[in-house]
Structures are given as C-alpha cells and as structure tokens.
Chain A
C-alpha cells in the first residue's frame, strides 16, 4: 500500500494506481475527457490536472498518468488547478463548440467567455478513437499525423483504409460526436442549456420535486432561444 495525502486526507493507494484512480476510489471528482477506464492512459486533454507538492516547487500534473507515490501531497481543486482547467475548457470550446460533452464541462466549471476565434473543427485530438481502434477493436486503422498545430488523426497517408472494419467504435467513443442541445447552427458559442437549466414545471407546481432533474432527460427544460 502507498500512503499519500489527498486534499488533506491521509489515503492509501494500491501499487500501480494513478492519482486519478486513487482520487476516484475516494469519491473525489476530477473531470476528464481523454481518459477511459477500458483504454490506456494518454494525458493529452489536461483536464484531470492536480497540484502536487507544496511551496515554490509545487506543480500541476495530469492525474491520469501520474503514479501514486509514497508521501505525495495532492490537491485537486486549488486556484492554479481551477484556472488552468477553465482555460483548457475555454480552448476546447473554441475548437469544437458543437460538442455536448465540452459544452457541459463549460457549464459545470463556469466558463463564461470564449475569447478565441472559434474554429469549428470537431476534433480536440484526445486520441480516444486511436486507442479504441487499436486496443479494443484491434484495428489500428487510424493514428496521429504531424506535430504541433498541424497534428491530426487520420489513416496512413490519408488513404482509404483496408484495416478499418467500419465497426463505429471511434464514433462511439468520441466525446465530440454528440450534438449539443441547441443543435449545430447555434447562435452563441457557449450553450449552457443542460447543466444550468431552469425546470419550467416548478413555477406551476409549488409542492413538487422535479424527479427529472438530470441533464437533458426531460426535454422541457431546454432554454428558450
């Protein structure tokens, strides 16, 4: 067992656990995008950042890749973490505003402005599709190409793939492949329809509890355009 400090609590982790696994075991919420329990870790979306260490040497690391260490001091919601997280979400919204998953993250973590020019690219290079195809579906039909701002995901040499079995695993796992509530032609960059909704029924019925208070289940709670 590895003993470490998590948000001030003394916790124990098994050999080989990451900080993310440790935190989730103890019920702490850390947002992720490129992480999936069934696939290898990637550490690219930078949402799962936590602050380790104390004092001037404290730094942010992706909890999904950082192994639990004896005596480590971990904090999941410091000012640095929250500000970095919000900037990551802001950047993601500016790339793919039509992703429900990303819009929900924006609503949840109070991202109120998108100050970068929106690109509408529909891919945030989280690599889930690549790992899904390689690890779960044994296809290895797609991968990363180039580096830097030119990085993209495609088949080798952009040619039609003979390895692809059209299983749809990549579409299934993609966090961007879910339309937001307002649809693809939304007026505003930030959606805020689902997570910060206002149940309309409660105005009519005083003594009622809304059992459908769950992201988008009821449908009447979509904000008026």
Chain B
C-alpha cells in the first residue's frame, strides 16, 4: 500500500518504509529495468519503453512482467540498456524492435539473447550480468548504484529500498551536534571541486550567529563534459533531498534552495516532482514527523552562466542580482544568502550524507585514502571505449580507471592525456597514469579533482587546440568584473589562437606564462584564479608541442587547420603539393600538374611507383570513403609527360660555388646533389656499386620499378650539374680526410642501409640460404642466382615481399611461401604489395618464426619453425610475438631467403674521423642533419636504418639547405615555412549525382598470365578519363584555410 497522506510521526515513517520494502520483496514478477536518463533518452530509450509497454498491453502480459523506468545506469556507451531481475541479465544497446524477443524469449522462456549481451572488445568474451562487465567490475557504486533500482518519479520506490531511513534515524533522537560529529568522522570532503571538509563547514554554519539560516544545493554543474550531478538528480532525487534535510537539521536551517542549471530540464522535472511528493507526505514543511523540525526546499533555476557555480555568484543569482562573485571574507557560512549564514554543498556531497548517517562515519572513513575518504563519481568521456559515469573509491589510479574500467582508447590509438577538473583543471600525460586519485596527489601534479569531469585524449588530440578551447570557454564565461580575468582570458586566448594558426612567435610562450601567473594571482574568484590552468598544465607537460607549432609550424596531431592546410601536402616529407597538381589534372592542365610535381621532387616517376604514400593515409576523403589515389594520379602525370616528350629542364645555374662530396647515389644522395647543383655548388657523388640508384636500383626489382624509368630521372639530375663517380668505396678508395684535403668543403654521408641482418640461427651459413638484399642485388645486376623449387622467405617488410616476388619469377622456382612472426595487421610492407603477392600465388603464413635450418650434405633442406602468439606491446608499439612452447614443426624447402631487416654499413668511419654512431647508424642533429664532425652531414637510411624512399629524398633536401648555410658561413638552422600551396587553383564543381557516384579507381595491372617468369612492370597507369574523375573527387583541403578561402573568394 503506497503512502498517500501525511506521515505525522516517526513510527508512521518506520511503518511506511517497512511496508514498501516488503512490497518490493514480494514482487514475484520478473522486472525489466530500462535506463531512461537524459543519455538513454537521447539514444532512444523512450521508443524501447513504448514498444515494451505496447506489447505487454496487447498480449496482456501485465501479470507476467513488470517494466520499471529508471534514471541513468552509468554505462552511457551501452545505452539504452535493460537490466533483468531475477537472473542479473544486462542487455545493452537495445532497440525498440527487440521488445518482442525480450518478452517472448527472455521473460517467458528464460532464454538469454546473446546478441544483446555486452561483448568485451579486448578479450572477445560476452558478459551476462553487470558484474561480469569490466566497466562495472572495479567500481564501488555506493551513491550511484541505487539509480538502477528505483523509479525516480515515485517516492514509494525510494522507501522500498530503505529510503528516508537516515532521516528517520536522525529525527529519532540524534542531536544536531551528533550528526555533525558523524559527518566529521567520515572525513567527507566537498565534491564540488574545492574539497573542503564538509563536517567542518557544517560546524561553522551551526556556530554562526543568527536564527535564520539557509542551506543550498549547488546543482549548477557547469564543467563541460561533467554530468554526475545530473544523473543523480534525474535518477535518485530523493537521495539528495534526504541529505539536505539531514543537513538542515544539523545546521539549524529552515529553508533550502536547490540551484539547478536551466540546461537540465529532466533533472528539474524530477526534483520538482520529488519535492512535491515529499511535501505532500509531510517530509518537508512544518513540524516534520511531529518533531518540531521545520524545513522546506525551493528550486531556483540558473540561466546559463558557468560562473554561477561559484558560491557567491550563485547566491547573488538566487537573490535576483547579476551572477557575479564577491570577495570573501565574509564567507557564506557567516554572511551568505540575504546576508544570513548559509551552507552550500554540491549535489554529490549531499548524496553521500544519508549513507554516512545510516552506516556511520567510521564505515565511510574506511573507504578511500588518508586524506580523501569515500568514493568519487567521475564522468569518463572523450576518446575512451566505455564512456559513462564511474564511481570509484578515492585512491584508485588513473590507469585503472582509464584502462580497466574505461576499456582503453578506441581504434587502438595511443593515450595522450587526461583532463581532470573541467576548465579549472589540468591535463596529465602518460607519465602520470599511476597517480592515485585523491585531492592531494592531483594538486601536486598540477591538476585538480574538480567536480569529477575526466576527458580522455589520444594521439590525434592537439594540446594547443585544447588550451584554446578552454580559454575560449573561460573568456565567454568570465563574469567580467576583474580586469585580470576578463582581459587575461581574452589575451591568453588570442596568443594561443595565434600559435594554433601558425602565427606564433618565439616570445609568445614567455608572455603567455607571465600573463597566466598574473591572472592566477590577481583575480578575485575561483574562475579567474584557475583560468590559467589549461595553459599552465599543457605548457608544463607538452611544451614541445607548442614549440612545434611556433618554430616548426607543425601541429603533430594534425588538428590545427591553419597549420595543416592540405593534409596530403602536410604529411608528405618533401611537401609535394598534391592538392594543387590534382586540381590541375581535374582541369586537364597536365603540363601545369607536371611542373608542380617537379618543383619539389627530383624523382617523381620513381615515387609514383614505389612511394609508401603517407599522403593517402591522412587524406580526408579517406575518413568517409577511400582516400584519393594520389600516387596513381602522380603516375598518370609522369607517364603522360614521358609519352608526350615533355622533359623537365632544370634551371641551369652557373656552378661556381664550392665542391661538395656526397657518399652514396641513393635517393638521399641524388636529391642532395641535385638541389646543391641548382644552388650553384659543384656536387660529386661517390658510389661504391657500379650503378647509381642505391636501393632504387639494387633493392627494388624491375617489376615494380623498371631500370629505364630510374635511369631517365638520374639523367635529368646529372644534367642539373651533378657528377656521379661509380665504383668508388668510401674507406677503401677514398677517405673522408682525403675529401677535405681535395678541397671538398662539406661531405654528406648517404650510404644507406644495405646490409641484411643475420638471424643468428644454426645453419644460416649453409648453401641455399640467402639474405634478401644480397639476393636482390644479384637479381638487379643480372648476376646468376641459385633458386630452388620450393622457396621460403622469412620476414614481413618490403624487402621480403620484393625477394618473394622476384624468386617467384625465377625459372626454377615453383612455390614461394612467406613466414612472418606477427599478423597481417602488423606487417610493415606496403599493403598493395602484400595483396599483389597473394594474388600472384605466394602463400603468406603468419605467427611463425624459424628456429633452425636443417641441412642435408651441407645444403639447406628444411627449416624448423615455432608458432608464435602476440604478447605485450614492445618499443615499436606493436605487440611482441612470443613463441608457443612445443609448437615446433618442420617445413621442407630448397631455398631460404632471410629478410628480417637491414642495417647500414658504416665501417668506413674510423676512430679518427670523430663521427659518432649508434651501432652502425650515424648520429646527427635532428634539426640540421650535421654529424658530430664539423662539415660532415648525414641522412637517409644510414642514419635512420631502413626507411622509405620519400624520407630519404627529404633528408637530401634538408642536407642541401643546411650544407649551403654551413658553407656560406651562416648559422646552420632550418627555415620552417607554413604549409601552403604556391597557387590556389579554382575548384572543380561536381553535381550531386557525380559526387555520389565518385569512387576510387582500380589501378590497372598486368594480367597474371603475362607476369609469368618475367620482370615486366606489373602496375599500369590510369586512363585519362579515370584520372580526370578521380582528380575531381579531391576535397581540396587547401581551400579550407583563411588564405585559401580568401584566394578563391577573390577569384569569384
């Protein structure tokens, strides 16, 4: 029987609670609890509820099942969700169409619907009930947990879980001092952000002089991303009201205000209902339960100002004045609302009070840490798998919350930072993940607990952009009274915006820090005093990111639009203006496209065949479809030029400047020489092999890069004024010392990484065991090679694929198998190469590693391998393969090619040369490319180890820039420029139909039959119409910057 009339005595309340609790227990029907907080409703809970109710009515199942609509269950990612008792079943992401199945199968037939259970993405296992779900396992939901048990619009449901039992206990004989003492013993600290000891605050309020006192519940919750209070007010409003009643009793207040922000309509609705119901039953009003205690609560609504979360501004707002903070002292506890003693607490703080009274202060003090007792509710949002509200004991580490409960970062991305405490808080980096969450540790690390917002950021978040976002928020929300806050937030925002737009200057960081400290010191209220935190914390942990924006004009996360411009041009190590030449192709202006390509790249025909296209990886068209086929479009232009006899004539400059020596005629060396010649220097390349080209000639077989194509481009380079001398080995035929003596003013070491790594397995030296680079060199120099029928290649990089496809083309070979120790996802080789090799019939087997070569009469006959499984991540960020004991097996073969990796051979560097190395890799200054010896520079694979062609070309360009500075006596620094196209080409206009139909073309390839046992080029060129169509598909990101917009606007 529900309580309907006024409850006028303690005993009567006791009875009501007992009755309702019994009623709840007596419920025989299974209960379907549907979450319908604001988050659930946004995801469609109402439709699910309607669907269930409609079906129940239609099939007259009212006596068989009960539907309960509750507030938020906390796991927002899984909304709408349904908890079914008995059986403890948790259904997530339920759609209205599932109502039938749930009723018929689960309720009536007790069959669990597998497809609605939670699937853990990390283990692949399904969870049946709440506690099996990793999100819930580690939580301690003592405050928020009841949300899942009650209908927030029915006070009787609250009674049925023992609600108002704490009020009962309080009014049954506790003195106000005893209540305050219990709260003091609990160690409860304000959950709104400041963390002031609640018991102490209540004591001060109680002791304050005056008969008229107020209490206020601060439900303004303005922090972006924080919604704990909303969830509590929507889902369990009576809990908060009960806390306020107990508090009012303890302090001696007769009136309470609940200040709720206007943006929470559902919370306002439920709290209003709850207050009315409580008042109707006599739990609010005069002479409550006949004890003489008078107390009532009134709702005051905010009007959209973040600053009204500050207590003195909140009080001004309730009083009808403008929401502006005032100086303290006097503190609200002495002179608050209408100058009367006022105690203000946050929603979550009030929500903890009934529990503390019911169970005791000592019980509460057992949870948490030394200085931070109890639990805290956090809103875990941002780049996290399990978005939702998390309640954990104080002291749990950030790592546990983010990875164990939060499930880590989606998309396998790297964690970068966590922002705690809203705009007043700070960002904490990876190094701080093991920080325990409590007031003290957080503040020591430069962050604050705040109200509990926890925003997770990954590698694609720019910290400068984050600072800009929060500063923009604060400059809008500042009340504007204090010059320091009003002007300070505005000016800080201006400076950070400039940095984000690529207009940052060297001195900006110093000005920013000075201004930040002044704003912090000079402002009157908490908003101003903490306004500098987003800036100060990001500068503390991510200063290099700011410096990259200012000095190098780069946004590492590729977020700041003005810096990135076209992502393709931005990500290209040599800055090729892909969006510009593609725009020309779209206009049929192939010669103009050709000129744009040639201005930044001396080896474009090569690149268009073998580049690993970092441009395509970041292409914006690829975010909602397939990226533009940039490499193929470049190939189209280069082949068109070749077909039409268009030759690039490099501008001839009189070469009367110094002699520069370059070691290695690979892409790095060739590029450096080319650009040095164009500057008027006299470069000579010394190449050890009989042919120029480095890995381009010796490593990549003809079927990917025909010899004539390479030779043509090298010829153009020579015409620019470059001398190439082959057959000369550094360390043997020439020495560095000798070069300087022969009047070369600088040396650029670009000797590459041409030595295969040994696997160090027994039998590696047997006949029939080859190493990839040496094998490919023989193939490319047309030297005889010994390939047998069954070939096994070990490795997963491009050298392995090249060796495999080359071996396949050998007349003697019948079958090629590749063994790779990780999985396809981790293979470093180009995806299109892997696919091509599979198409050609090469068998790639994953998760195997060789252990030993088995020989017969000194010749390799088989290989013993062990199967692998993926373990923890290693330094490269990939999961480390771990051998499975006892899984060894034998695989017969005739030839084994080992292609696990390569390294440089810099044995030509002697002690006396003073050139420091790390193993065989030459050490250089990251900025300038200079080695530890004055006048000697290095770049390409000789420094980095095996890397891409375009990175080597980039190293060559940088070398030309820095060597020129060095030789002309200038300070050797790099000139960084904003990524912009040289010219803004008018965009193509597509009809809706064309845009809808546009698709990435398939690149034509040689028919399988024609590839048999020869090295004919496999990949073909796009047709003119295909190239034209694809070029028009480009989104022209270069037109998105302010410069781009005004250029096109002007053209109009």
Contact = CB atoms under 8 A, between A and B. Distances in A.
Given A67-B329, A148-B475, 5 more contacts: A44-B482, A61-B524, A65-B326, A91-B491, A144-B480
Interface string B392-411: 00000000000000000000
A46 B483 contact: yes
Contacts of B494: 116-117
Contacts of A125: 480, 483, 486
Interface of B: 305, 307, 322, 326-327, 329, 474-484, 486-491, 494, 507, 511, 514-515, 517-518, 521-524
Give the top 5 A-B pairs by smallest Cβ distance, nearest first. A151-B480, A87-B518, A149-B490, A84-B522, A148-B478
Contact of A69 (B329, B478, B507): B329
Contact of B487 (A62, A83, A95): A95
B305 A62 contact: no
Nearest to A95: B487
A91 B483 contact: yes
B327 A66 contact: yes
B358 to A, nearest CB: 36
B480 A60 contact: no
Interface in A178-225: none
A190 to B, nearest CB: 16
B489 A88 contact: no
Interface in A82-96: 83-84, 87-88, 91-92, 94-95
A95 B484 CA distance: 13
A221 B483 CA distance: 33
Contacts of B523: 46
Nearest to A33: B483
Contact of B483 (A66, A80, A88): A88
A84 B524 CA distance: 13
A92 B511 contact: no
Chain B CB within 10 Å — which of A116, A144, A148, A151 has the most? A148
Interface string A42-73: 11111001000000000111100111010000
17 contacts: A42-B481, A43-B481, A43-B524, A49-B521, A59-B521, A87-B515, A87-B518, A88-B484, A91-B487, A94-B491, A124-B483, A125-B480, A125-B486, A148-B475, A148-B477, A148-B486, A150-B476
Contacts of B517: 83
Interface string A7-27: 000000000000000000000
A87 B476 contact: no
A60 B486 contact: no
B484 A84 contact: yes
Chain B CB within 10 Å — which of A66, A125, A149 has the most? A149
Interface residues of A, number: 35
Contacts of A160: none
B506 to A, nearest CB: 12
Nearest to A146: B480
Contacts of B490: 149
Contact of A149 (B305, B480, B507, B522): B480
Nearest to B481: A44
Contact of B327 (A65, A124, A147): A65
A45 B478 CA distance: 15
B522 A147 contact: no
A87 B518 CA distance: 7
B514 A87 contact: yes
Contacts of A69: 329
B330 to A, nearest CB: 8
A143 to B, nearest CB: 9
B329 A60 contact: no
B511 A62 contact: no
Nearest to A151: B480
Contact of A87 (B305, B326, B327, B522): B522
Contact of A44 (B477, B483, B489, B514): B483
A95 B486 CA distance: 12
A117 B475 CA distance: 17
B518 A83 contact: yes
B486 A151 contact: yes
A62 B327 contact: yes
B479 A147 contact: yes
